[in-house]
Chain A
Amino acid sequence: MTKIDGAAALKRRRRRTALVGWSFILPNLVGFAALTLVPVGATLLLAFTDWNSYDTPHWIGFDNFQRMWDNDNFWTALSNTAWYAAGHIPLTMAASLGLAVLLNQKLRGVAFFRTAFFFPYITSLVAVAVVWNMLFSPDAGPVNQLLRAVGVAHPPGWTTDTDWALPAVVITSVWRDMGYYMVLYLAGLQAIPAELYEAARVDGAGPWKRFWHVTVPSLRPTTFFVLVMLTVSSFKVFDLVQVMTEGGPGRSTLVLSQLIFREGITQGRFGYSSAISLVLFLIVLIITVTQFRFQRRSER
């Protein structure tokens, strides 16, 4: 009798806990589900339809992907995005790790330097783009004045030149983002036990060896996190390109997310743009999963 009562009470308590738990989550979950989860799911379906702003959707299988395959703009955008990532990821990583190592010391004034390096990250993007556009100005811009002063006779035209516009965007983005990842690396550095350095020192390792054999391996979890974040963020780059170059000159800085925006929102080709979105998502997913596998293996 009491046993049954106890079981019923337990069941009731469990149900109450579940209700309480859901009540905590729901206010956020309702908004999140309606505005994020549902659209994510919709992208998956829309990619296989011909829906646009004039017609009702029809299921067209892989036609959108066929069209993408045959389309020049898609390949240009894909290759530009890949080049951007190939520049942005390693440079930002190196810069942020370098700054973090320099700043991980008990120095007077270290807080000032940390602030200085972090500040670009929180500066409004339009201001950043506008200023760098002017700095990169081909004739009298400060960057080219500096280059001429150090002996470069014909400095590049940066954002006005189809070959140099993308590097200009990459430089600006590294300058902007390195402070954020520096903070992540600093947190990682501070978690490395001092004994490891002590032991390396006893073994006669100099600063360079200590960096490669103690700092770098100990930072592996942080590096992995930074790598994943950088990959996701560089494949979805939009704002900086849109404000700095609008994809130009020509199509030289057109990136995937701009193409999605143009096709989907400007042109109203919902199905086709969803297909591009799906490809973008799959690329990010494949790279992230590969990194994860690689990380797993090197841990062993």
Chain B
Amino acid sequence: MKTTVLREDSTTARLPRQPAPAAPAGPRPHRRGPAGPGRIVGRALLYMALTGLAAAVLVPFAWMLVSSLKADSEVFTVPIQWIPKSFRWENFSDIWDQIPLWTYLGNSLFLSVVITALQVLTGSFAAYGFAKVRFPGRDAVFLAYIATIAVPWQAYMVPQYILMQKLGLVNTHLSLILLQAFGAFGVFLMRQYYLTIPDEISEAARLDGLTEYGIWARIVLPLSKPALAGLALLTFVNTWNDYMGPFIYLTDNDLWTVQLGLRSFVGMYSSQYAMIMTGSVLSVLPILVVFLLGQRYFVQGISTSGMK
């Protein structure tokens, strides 16, 4: 539903653009402004605004990091100490004894990797069927996928839970894997990307005698590496950060993810402010690494889901 809507709209919106006077190609005009002092002042103001905003957005992270290196009594001081009196690095070694953080990290990693792999594999496979093979019933099934993206998960989490209960899968990792690996989002995103690959390419491969599976594996997949990376990263991060799924399904401490572990730590030791911040830093760190490595693909993945 959403795809067709958006496509229709973007084309109708683009229509009036075509007759616009064809200006000579070149750098984007709003950057070309008059050179000189006015422009330099403008630039300086823009930088100042951006720096101020970035600082405001990042301040919670700075506070988290600084607090993680303090003693509990120094976290809330008036005025705020932006540089701790003494750096308590031992917070970062003590926390491993306070909560089974390795178990939590391991569980989060396991779930994120398995779910991401399944989502990318089945999602990109199904997307090929939706984007490149024409057969009766295809569009109706795709409509069902799109429709459920708009249904809030809460609206059907209770029947899902009952189903899992009947299957005896509540309080297992398998329940979360099954629930999250077959989401509609991956299919949707990959299909959007496959539609941008010209049909002539697969047509030519077909004439060369490749089967549809061959075309998917040898031609379409290699061409869609950026989208695959985007989907993989988004799924990984979403699974790593998911709270509600593990919160509902996992009751055993041994099965908990980092998010659940951190939350329960906060509940039990609510006045150990510094240690709570240490745990928070450690829960964010893996995501920071993943993000900095694949930033480009994140942005591309999100843009793909929004365009067309």
Which residues from chain A sit less than 8 Å from chain B, CB to CB? 17-18, 20-25, 27-32, 34-40, 42-43, 46, 99, 102-103, 105-107, 112-120, 122-128, 130-132, 134-135, 137, 139-142, 145, 175, 180, 183-184, 186-188, 191, 193-199, 201, 207, 210, 218, 220-222, 224-226, 228, 232, 235-236, 238-239, 242-243, 256-257, 260-261, 264-265, 270, 273-274, 277-278, 280-281, 284-285, 288, 292, 295, 299
Per-residue contact bits, chain B 107-136, to A (CB 8 Å; 1 contact, 0 not) = 000000000000000110110111001111
Docked pose: A196 CA to B22 CA in angstroms: 9
Q: Kindly list 13 other residue pairs between chains A and B, CB separation below 8 angstroms, not including A106-B28, A128-B60, A183-B298.
A: A21-B134, A25-B138, A28-B126, A119-B58, A119-B288, A126-B263, A127-B284, A130-B266, A130-B276, A131-B61, A191-B307, A207-B30, A265-B248
Instruction: Select one of B17, B60, B122 contacting A131, CB under 8 A.
Output: B60
Interface of A is mostly: helix
Per-residue contact bits, chain B 260-274, to A (CB 8 Å; 1 contact, 0 not) = 001100100000010
Note all chain B residues with C-beta closer than 8 A to A264.
157-158, 161
Instruction: Select one of A37, A130, A226, A281 contacting B280, CB under 8 A.
Output: A130
Docked pose: A284 CA to B156 CA in angstroms: 14
Asked if B303 is an interface residue, CB under 8 A from chain A, the answer is yes
Instruction: Select one of A24, A42, A131 contacting B64, CB under 8 A.
Output: A131
Chain B residue at minimal CB-CB distance from A184: B306
Chain A residue at minimal CB-CB distance from B236: A122
Known A-B contacts A27-B126, A122-B237, A270-B162; the reply to A145 vs B80 at CB < 8 A is yes
Binds A, one of B88-96, B196-204, B239-247: B239-247
Q: Are B155 and A280 closer than 8 Å at their CB atoms?
A: yes
Instruction: Select one of A36, A39, A265, A295 contacting B184, CB under 8 A.
Output: A36
Q: Are B23 and A199 closer than 8 Å at their CB atoms?
A: yes
Asked if B29 is an interface residue, CB under 8 A from chain A, the answer is yes
Known A-B contacts A24-B129, A127-B64; the reply to A277 vs B156 at CB < 8 A is yes
Known A-B contacts A124-B287, A184-B303, A198-B29; the reply to A280 vs B152 at CB < 8 A is yes
Note all chain B residues with C-beta closer than 8 A to A134.
63, 67, 75-76, 273, 276-277
Known A-B contacts A43-B159, A193-B17, A220-B9; the reply to A135 vs B241 at CB < 8 A is no
Q: Are B163 and A25 closer than 8 Å at their CB atoms?
A: no
Known A-B contacts A113-B54, A232-B152, A277-B158; the reply to A105 vs B31 at CB < 8 A is yes
Docked pose: A183 CA to B295 CA in angstroms: 12
Q: Are B302 and A184 closer than 8 Å at their CB atoms?
A: yes
Q: Are A31 and B303 closer than 8 Å at their CB atoms?
A: no
Q: Are B23 and A194 closer than 8 Å at their CB atoms?
A: yes
Asked if B222 is an interface residue, CB under 8 A from chain A, the answer is no
Known A-B contacts A131-B280, A270-B162; the reply to A225 vs B76 at CB < 8 A is no
Note all chain A residues with C-beta closer than 8 A to B60.
120, 128, 131-132, 135, 175
Asked if B148 is an interface residue, CB under 8 A from chain A, the answer is yes
Q: Are B20 and A126 closer than 8 Å at their CB atoms?
A: no
Asked if B53 is an interface residue, CB under 8 A from chain A, the answer is yes
Interface hub of A117, A187, A280 (most chain B Cβ within 10 A): A187
Known A-B contacts A232-B152, A238-B244; the reply to A24 vs B280 at CB < 8 A is no
Docked pose: A38 CA to B273 CA in angstroms: 44
Asked if B5 is an interface residue, CB under 8 A from chain A, the answer is yes
Docked pose: A222 CA to B21 CA in angstroms: 24
Known A-B contacts A37-B148, A106-B31, A228-B2; the reply to A125 vs B155 at CB < 8 A is no
Interface of B is mostly: helix
Q: Are A199 and B244 closer than 8 Å at their CB atoms?
A: no
Instruction: Select one of A23, A124, A140 contacting B259, CB under 8 A.
Output: A124
Docked pose: A126 CA to B260 CA in angstroms: 8
Known A-B contacts A43-B158, A260-B154, A280-B152; the reply to A36 vs B182 at CB < 8 A is yes
Instruction: Select one of B13, B54, B130 contacting A116, CB under 8 A.
Output: B54
Chain B residue at minimal CB-CB distance from A288: B150
Q: Are B148 and A40 closer than 8 Å at their CB atoms?
A: yes
Instruction: Select one of B17, B76, B152, B184 contacting A196, CB under 8 A.
Output: B17
Known A-B contacts A102-B49, A113-B50; the reply to A40 vs B154 at CB < 8 A is no
Docked pose: A118 CA to B54 CA in angstroms: 10
Chain A residue at minimal CB-CB distance from B295: A115
Known A-B contacts A21-B133, A184-B302; the reply to A140 vs B78 at CB < 8 A is yes
Q: Are B135 and A17 closer than 8 Å at their CB atoms?
A: yes
Interface hub of A39, A43, A228, A238 (most chain B Cβ within 10 A): A39
Chain A residue at minimal CB-CB distance from B240: A124
Note all chain B residues with C-beta closer than 8 A to A242.
243-244, 247
Instruction: Determine how close the nearest CB of chain B comes to the CB of A43; give it in whole angstroms.
Output: 5
Note all chain A residues with C-beta closer than 8 A to B281.
127
Docked pose: A261 CA to B29 CA in angstroms: 53
Note all chain B residues with C-beta closer than 8 A to A281.
151-152, 155
Known A-B contacts A28-B187, A122-B291, A278-B155; the reply to A299 vs B31 at CB < 8 A is no
